[in-house]
């Protein structure tokens, strides 16, 4: 009997410590699936996108977005723009450089996991960008007890010379999570429309959540049948930036938190088709001007923030962000504020008392 008990204990311990399946198919594509008790996260290896982030037992994935490309390697859901945000120069395009860079146009390699480490499921993966000469190593930690994950990405310059580059996170929300009632909130401040002409697109300036259309103010919190202005960019006056998207019809909120020293810009992309909202980009990164590098170098800064960063030969830099999910009631009004202290995240609802606060313990951030 004791031998049987010892065997059962050994088998149980082995089951707990064994790593999860490293790679599987998700929607017919090679993927990495991290499964916690509170949430699931799926990473597409044909471009490295975070394609599915949902509460356990919930049917809605806020990151359900596909540009409709037939390419095997392509951006999906939340993708990484690296080594640029926006278009290459004409000469770079002739040489094969992609819009938003190469990170979504190469295969990603899994190095570790997913495996349980403490109160998280962790995995490590990487990609090499041959034209850019950059290598990115990503560590993903999905909390087991809360619907949150911390993603850290180190970028190394493998070139023999230093170079400028940009790195922008491109979370994209789509239907059914996105509809006319979906509310986008942030602590961003001063901004400008990308449609404003050079050399001074920051004139006129706007303040979150306001934008201008033909000189008239409009709110960026909602999107219906008109996606003009298409892209509006903002900066922050605080150390931690955040953005949330709340879908009362689906009872779900998704949000992101990051250091504005690492990602000083927030870029809001809006897209409607056939009179319905189809996509919203909640993009945070190192640049807020959607142009090739020659234009960025000539402009230099907007609102005192740089439009690109430099990475020396062999140098490595690390940036991180926190993503989270909450259930919300069908009469949810949106987010008035977010606080993060000692691993505790608290969200205050617009116009409501503290008894409607949303809160969770996420673990240490930055990691």
pLDDT tens column, 174-227: 999 999 999 999 999 999 999 999 999 999 999 999 999 999 999 999 999 999
Quote the pLDDT of residue 22: 62
CA 118 to chain centre: 24
- Picking from 225, 206, 208, the residue whose alpha carbon sits closest to that of residue 216 is 206
Residue 15 is predicted with a pLDDT of 37
Q: Residues 232, 190: contact at Cβ < 8 Å?
A: no
pLDDT digits (tens, 9 = 90+) for 237-262: 999 999 999 999 999 999 999 999 99
3-state SS, the chain, equals: CHHHHHHHHHHHHHHHHCCCCCCEEECCEEEEEEECCCEEEEEECCCCCEEEEEECCCCCCCCCCCCCCCCCCCCCCEEEEEECCCCCCHHHHHCCCCCCECHHHCCCEEEEEEEECCCEEEEEEEEEECCCCEEEEEEEEEECCCCEEEEEEEEEECCCCCEEEEEEEECEECCCCCCCCCEEEECCCEEEECCCCCCCCCCCCEECCEEEECCEEEECCCCCCCCCCCEEEEECCCCEEEEEEEECCCCEEEEEEEECCCCCEEEEEEEEECCEEEEEEEEEECCCCCCCHHHHHHHCEECCEECCEEECCCCEEEEEEEEEEEECCCCCCCEEEEEEECCEEEEEECCCCHHHCEEEECCCCCC
CA separation for the pair 223, 4 (Å, rounded): 62
Domains in the chain, start-ordered, CATH in brackets? Answer: 26-361 (2.70.98.10)
pLDDT of the residue at 11: 36
Q: Which of 287, 282, 277 is nearest to 228 (CA)?
A: 277
| pLDDT score, position 20 | 53
The span from the CA of 74 to the CA of 77, in Å, is: 10
Determine contact, residues 31/107, Cβ cutoff 8 Å: no
- pTM, to two decimals: 0.93
Mean pLDDT by 10 residues, the chain (367 residues): 40 40 82 97 98 96 94 97 97 97 98 93 98 98 96 98 98 98 98 97 97 95 95 98 98 98 98 96 98 98 98 98 97 96 95 88 87
- Per-residue confidence (pLDDT) for residue 25, from 0 to 100: 87
- Cβ neighbourhood burial of 5 (10 Å; 0-12, 13-18, 19+): exposed
Q: What pLDDT, on the 0 to 100 scale, is given for residue 16? A: 39
Cα–Cα dist 257/240, whole Å: 7
């Amino acid at each position: 009997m004791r031998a049987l008990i010892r065997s059962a204990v050994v088998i149980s311990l082995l089951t707990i410590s064994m790593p999860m399946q490293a790679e599987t198919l998700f929607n017919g594509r090679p993927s990495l699936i991290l499964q916690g008790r509170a949430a699931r996260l799926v990473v597409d290896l044909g471009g490295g996108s975070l394609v599915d982030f949902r509460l356990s037992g919930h049917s809605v994935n806020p990151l359900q977005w596909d540009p409709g490309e037939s390419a095997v390697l392509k951006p999906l859901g939340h993708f990484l723009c690296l080594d640029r945000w926006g278009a290459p120069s004409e000469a770079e395009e002739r040489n094969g450089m992609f819009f938003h860079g190469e990170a979504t146009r190469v295969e990603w390699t899994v190095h570790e996991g997913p495996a349980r480490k403490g109160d998280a499921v962790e995995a490590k993966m990487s990609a090499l960008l041959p034209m850019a000469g950059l290598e990115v190593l990503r560590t993903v930690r999905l909390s087991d007890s809360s619907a949150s994950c911390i993603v850290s990405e180190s970028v190394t310059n493998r070139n023999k010379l230093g170079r400028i580059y940009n790195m922008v996170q491109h979370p994209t929300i789509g239907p059914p999570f996105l509809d006319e009632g979906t509310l986008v909130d942030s602590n961003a401040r001063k901004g400008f429309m990308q449609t404003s002409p050079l050399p001074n697109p920051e004139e006129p300036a706007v303040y979150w959540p306001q934008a201008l259309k033909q000189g008239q103010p409009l709110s960026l919190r909602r999107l219906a049948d008109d996606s003009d202005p298409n892209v509006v960019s903002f900066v922050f006056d605080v150390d931690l930036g955040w953005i949330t998207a709340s879908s009362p019809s689906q009872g779900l909120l998704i949000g992101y938190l990051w250091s504005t020293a690492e990602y000083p810009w927030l870029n809001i992309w809006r897209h409607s088709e056939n009179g319905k909202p189809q996509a919203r980009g909640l993009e945070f990164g190192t640049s807020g001007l959607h142009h090739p590098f020659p234009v960025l170098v000539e402009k230099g800064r907007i609102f005192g923030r740089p439009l690109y960063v430099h990475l020396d030969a062999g140098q490595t830099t690390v940036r991180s962000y926190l993503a989270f999910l909450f259930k919300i009631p069908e009469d949810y009004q949106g987010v008035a504020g977010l606080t993060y202290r000692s691993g505790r995240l608290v969200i205050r609802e617009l116009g409501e008392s503290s008894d409607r606060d949303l809160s969770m313990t996420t673990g240490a951030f930055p990691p």
